[in-house]
Amino acid sequence: MWEYANPKRFMGWTAPVLPWAFGLSAVCLTIGLIWGFFFTPVDFRQGSTVKIIYLHVPSALMAINAWVMMLMASLIWLVRRHHVSALAAKAAAPVGVAMTLIALATGAIWGQPMWGTYWAWDPRLTSFLILFLFYLGYMALWAAIEDPDTAADLTSVLCIVGSVFAFLSRYAVNFWNQGLHQGASLSLDKEKNVADVFYQPLLFAIGGFVILFFALVLLRTRTEIRKRRIGALQRREG
């Protein structure tokens, strides 16, 4: 497996995968969002705001999973000193920020009519906001340190610390039985899961967000590898 993460091999196998990944994510997102927006009924309690679920749930899921992916890549860097894994973690951060921003914005827009407020210092919302700030801090740390290996070391440590909040963002509702945010929308228990009529388009939307995340991380990792190569060439010349 590690040979595919060699920079040259990575550039080779990702080039043909990228158009398919972007295409598949566009198809899944189009199906999920059009199905959800145009062809699902309104909820008897939430009215048409239930349609926000097709954006909020997938983006919140990916906001947390992006950090988990960064954590794994950071651990690989710390243990194996594998440069592509450090660059993949760096590449994933702006995508994670975008996902977190969508989750926070759609949650606030949904919260105003349903809870009567855009924001509450609820355990899940607060841990999500802290996760967002960790994303920004992580990117700022990469930008602030010139030596790439030192930057990778320090950002990996920050990523491990921030994982607490990624974990809390997911499980805060279970730990503290207080606050406004409801439990998970998706469950293996059919009784607790959202109704099928909402569930099926939601699965497409989640699939679209997951594949889009994967495609963006590949694209941005390729960019980071090229930047690293430009730096090496400039040092050799200079």
Partner 1 sequence: MPDLGKYAAEVLLAYGVSLFILIGIVVLSWRQSQRTKRDLDAAEAQCNG
The smaller minimum CB distance to partner 1, of residues 26 and 78, is found at 26
Asked if 206 is part of the footprint of partner 1 (rule: CB under 8 A), the reply reads no
Give dist(CA 29, CA 19) in Å, integer: 15
The answer for residues whose C-beta is within 8 angstroms of residue 138's C-beta and 6 or more apart is: 70, 93, 155, 158, 159, 162
Contact 211, 65 (CB under 8 A): no
Contact pick of 10, 28, 49, 131 for partner 1 (by CB under 8 A)? 49
Alpha helices in 42-147 (DSSP H): 53-80, 83-115, 123-144
Cα(first)–Cα(last) distance of the chain, in Å? Answer: 36
Question: From the list 112, 150, 174, 187, which residue makes contact with partner 1 (rule: CB under 8 A)?
Answer: 112
Is the Cβ of residue 101 or residue 141 nearer to partner 1 in the bound state?
Answer: 101
109-121 in b/e burial notation, b at 16+ Cβ within 10 A? ebbeebeeeeebe
233 binds partner 1 (CB under 8 A): yes
| Least distance to partner 1, CB of residue 113, Å | 6
Element (DSSP H or E) covering residue 154: helix 148-175
Any contact of residue 83 with partner 1 (CB under 8 A)?
no
Q: By C-beta, is 168 or 224 nearer to partner 1? A: 224
CB within 8 A of 72, min separation 6: which ones? none
From the CB of 39, what's the least distance to partner 1, in Å? 8
Nearer CB in complex with partner 1: 52/166: 52
Whether 47 and 213 have beta carbons less than 8 Å apart is answered as no
The correct pick among 21, 52, 70, 202 for binding partner 1 (CB under 8 A) is: 52
- Our finding on whether 90 is near partner 1 (CB under 8 A) is no
Residue 38 found at the interface with partner 1 (CB under 8 A):
yes
Told to check if 102 binds partner 1 by CB under 8 A, we report: yes
Query: What radius of gyration, in Å, describes the C-alpha atoms of the chain?
Result: 20
CB of 42 to partner 1, least distance (A): 7
Which one, 110 or 204, has the nearer CB to partner 1? 110
Does 189 bind partner 1 (CB under 8 A)? Our answer is: no
Residue type for position 37:
F
CA–CA gap between residue 130 and residue 63 (Å, rounded) = 12
Q: Does 23 bind partner 1 (CB under 8 A)?
A: no
Greatest alpha-carbon span in the chain? 68
Chain positions contacting partner 1, by CB under 8 A: 22, 29, 33, 37-38, 42, 47-49, 51-52, 55-56, 59, 94-95, 98, 101-102, 105-106, 109-110, 112-113, 212, 216, 219-220, 222-223, 226-227, 229-230, 233-234, 236-237
